[in-house]
Amino acid sequence: MREPSYEVKTEWEIVEDFTKQRFDKLPGLIPGKLGCKVSAGKLPAHDSKWDKVSIKHGKKLPAFEGTVPNEMTYHDPIIQELANEGEISIFGTDLAVAALMTSSKAQYPWDLVIKKAEGFLFIDKRDK
């Protein structure tokens, strides 16, 4: 079990208690259709040879040869440029958005950092 990043103190005022069970019972939310403002980075094409991998027919994963950026949302130069344009008010990295999208099914704790600055929200997944 992962240690919490912050120790909850008894003197803290509870604004709202939001348990996983309550989160699971939320009605299905239907997101609005959004466009893509900026496309940054690259994603390799899907390789269909991985579709048939199973326990019986295993396959060794090749070593990853790329780099994994660990830039916080607030410090990302592309996101800073978008914030300066003023058309978008909520920003998040792929890791933070993935944590939010899968949180109702997560078996392990997830820890997000939400920073509010100049009317913008910047959402990050907390470092280990």
Number of domains in the chain: 1
Domain assignment of residue 117, given as a range? 69-128
Q: What pLDDT sits at residue 109? A: 67
Tell me, yes or no, whether 104 lies in a domain: yes
Tell me, yes or no, whether 87 lies in a domain: yes
Q: What is the mean pLDDT of each run of 10 residues along the chain (128 residues)?
A: 74 81 71 74 83 87 80 84 89 82 72 86 81
To the question of pTM greater than 0.75 for the whole model, the response is no
Q: What pLDDT sits at residue 31? A: 63
Tell me, yes or no, whether 106 lies in a domain: yes
What backbone phi and psi angles, to 5 degrees, belong to 9?
A: -100, 145
Tell me, yes or no, whether 115 lies in a domain: yes
Tell me, yes or no, whether 18 lies in a domain: no
Tell me, yes or no, whether 57 lies in a domain: no
Taking the CA atoms of the chain, what radius of gyration do you get in angstroms?
Answer: 19
Q: What pLDDT sits at residue 2? A: 64
Instruction: Spell out a b/e string for 82-102, using b for 16 or more CB atoms within 10 Å of the CB, else e.
Output: bbeeeeeeebbbebbeebeee
Tell me, yes or no, whether 62 lies in a domain: no
Q: What pLDDT sits at residue 98? A: 82
Q: What pLDDT sits at residue 92? A: 85
- Taking the CA atoms of residue 19, residue 99, residue 89 and residue 28 in that order, the dihedral angle to the nearest 10 degrees is -60
User: Which element (helix H / strand E) includes 24?
Assistant: helix 20-24
Give the Cβ contact number of residue 126 at 10 Å. Answer: 14
